């Protein structure tokens, strides 16, 4: 077996680096989106959420007595400021995790690759169960993308380990 030419190795490393950076941007987008949603929850503190929900149902010309608008209005009626604050705090924690992960992936840090692989792998059993219960192209696509990201991170970690073993200290 002939060794891989250096130019080929460099090209593969650049492609892997570009893919990891694409994942970093995706994670940053998710973090920013959740941060915006959490901020939106904070805007609802000390407001009459039920009245806002009723106005939304009326604006959308929905029948407030039908099934889904009733569920929505009941949930809004039972919303408390402490629950909104807890949800916003959870969103801030999740967003922080995603933004830190994105930073680490962009800077090609090993700890971020481990974090991305583990946090992606956690969702796989749930995605498989959801695909079994409700088969569809969107569930299959979500699972495939997630497995691709986990595979990319594991490959990057294995490459990093190989390089560490082969290079002298």
Task: Give the whole-angstrom CA distance, residue 88 versus residue 150.
Answer: 28
Show me where the domains of the chain are located.
Answer: 110-169
CA quadruple 151, 155, 161, 167: dihedral, nearest 10: -170
Of 49, 33, 32, nearest in space to 85 by CA: 49
Of 19, 5, 12, nearest in space to 153 by CA: 19
CA 90 to chain CA centroid, Å, is 14
Indicate the pTM of the whole model: 0.79
Alpha carbon separation from 99 to 11, 46, 159 (Å, rounded) = 28, 29, 24
Could you read off the pLDDT tens digit of each residue along the chain, which spans 169 residues? 555 565 655 665 667 789 999 999 999 999 999 999 999 999 988 888 889 999 999 999 999 889 998 998 988 888 888 889 999 999 999 999 999 999 999 999 999 999 999 999 999 999 999 999 999 999 999 999 999 999 999 999 998 888 877 766 6
Model pLDDT, residue 2: 59
Give the number of other Cβ atoms within 10 Å of residue 133's Cβ.
8
Asked whether 102 and 149 are in contact (CB, 8 A), the reply is: no
């Amino acid at each position: 077996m002939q060794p891989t030419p250096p130019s080929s190795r460099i090209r593969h490393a650049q492609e892997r680096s570009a893919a990891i950076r694409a994942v970093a941007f995706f994670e940053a987008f998710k973090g920013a989106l959740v941060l915006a949603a959490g901020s939106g929850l904070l805007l609802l503190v000390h407001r009459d959420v039920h009245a806002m929900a009723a106005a939304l149902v009326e604006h959308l010309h929905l029948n407030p007595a039908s099934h889904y608008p009733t569920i929505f209005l009941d949930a809004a009626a039972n919303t408390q400021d402490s629950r909104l604050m807890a949800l916003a705090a959870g969103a801030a924690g999740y967003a922080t995790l995603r933004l830190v992960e994105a930073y680490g992936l962009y800077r090609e840090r090993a700890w971020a690759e481990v974090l991305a692989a583990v946090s992606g792998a956690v969702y796989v059993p749930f995605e498989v169960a959801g695909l079994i219960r409700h088969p569809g192209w969107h569930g299959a696509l979500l699972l495939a993308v997630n497995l691709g990201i986990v595979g990319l991170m594991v490959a990057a970690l294995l490459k990093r380990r190989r390089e560490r073993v082969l290079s002298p200290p």
